[in-house]
Amino acid sequence: MTDKLAVQMFTVREHTKTAKDLAETMRRIREMGYTAVQMSAIGCMNGEAPEVDAAMARKMLDDHGLKCIATHRPWPNLLTDIESEIAFHHTLGCDFAAIGGIGSEVPETLQRYRDFLAEAAPVIEKLKAAGMRFAHHNHSHEFFRPEVGGDCPEDVLINEGGPDLFLELDLYWIEHAGYNCARILERCHGRVPVIHIKDKEVVEGKNETRMAPIGEGNLDWDGIIAACEAAGVRWYAVEQDQCFRDPFDCLRASYDFLRTKGL
């Protein structure tokens, strides 16, 4: 069976603030059975003089039998210091750089996303020349339709981004926005090597939903996994932004469930 399950480290961000904590977190992740991680929101790697640099992080990964299959990087860094970003990723042994979105502070317009595609083109070209891929990660706001019945910003990314713009689809947020993630995946064949997954449960006694470990909510995982496989997904990165019990327990529950589904 091919290893396909990764942890998006944002899930355990409160446990990566020091080098000691990061190493212990990696140990626990590997002990569960995961073989890969996405490096994101790691406190001890942030700032101008981080306690853990890329070389030290790579050693930790190697020591614990983990592979870095993706990152989330600040978009300004990729725009203004691409060579340093390439070196950072090469040191980590990672060929997939993603951004967590272009922000939702200003009104969503289709032109804003077309401008982003133009701005991203030289970044994508330089990353590709260095043997790397670039991806955009969605939340729900990219599915807002500025005009009733018209396209949403994610349509611009899918339809106009071209084959070298990869899409790190977060399936929870797609469903949260009222879309069927399987239908979105069908439109992104070959452009979704890494995706984010979590479940969505109804809160007992309340008319509201929240994030949950995979298998403990109401998403159609048989249908979703089939759509992912058809679309060419290589890595399923478990990312539970909010955990309502111990995050390591949530990660273990998600892993155990996904293994029963053949992943």
pLDDT in tens, 81-109: 999 999 999 999 999 999 999 976 777 89
The rounded distance, in Å, linking the Cα atoms of 263 and 253 is 14
pLDDT at 55 over 60: yes
Give me 238's structure tokens.
């478990």
The rounded distance, in Å, linking the Cα atoms of 162 and 135 is 12
Band (1; pLDDT cuts 50, 70, 90): low
Residue 98 near residue 194, CB atoms below 8 Å: yes
- In this prediction, residues 16-27 reach a mean pLDDT of 98
Long-range pairs for 175-181: beta carbons < 8 A, 24 or more residues apart = 175/200, 175/219, 176/140, 176/200, 176/209, 177/140, 177/143, 177/144, 178/143, 179/143, 181/224, 181/227
Count of other CB atoms within 10 angstroms of residue 246: 10
The hierarchical CATH code for the domain 5-260 is 3.20.20.150
pLDDT single digits (tens) 242-263: 999 999 999 999 999 999 999 9
Q: What is the mean pLDDT of the chain?
A: 96
Give me 154's structure tokens.
């994610």
pLDDT single digits (tens) 104-147: 677 789 999 999 999 999 999 999 999 999 999 999 999 999 99
pTM, 2 dp: 0.97
Predicted local confidence at residue 103, as pLDDT: 76
Q: For residue 65, is it left (φ>0), alpha (ψ between -120 and 50) or beta?
A: left
Predicted local confidence at residue 108, as pLDDT: 82
Exposure string for 168-189, b = 16+ CB within 10 A, e = fewer = bbbbbbbbbbebebbebbeebe
pLDDT at 213 over 60: yes
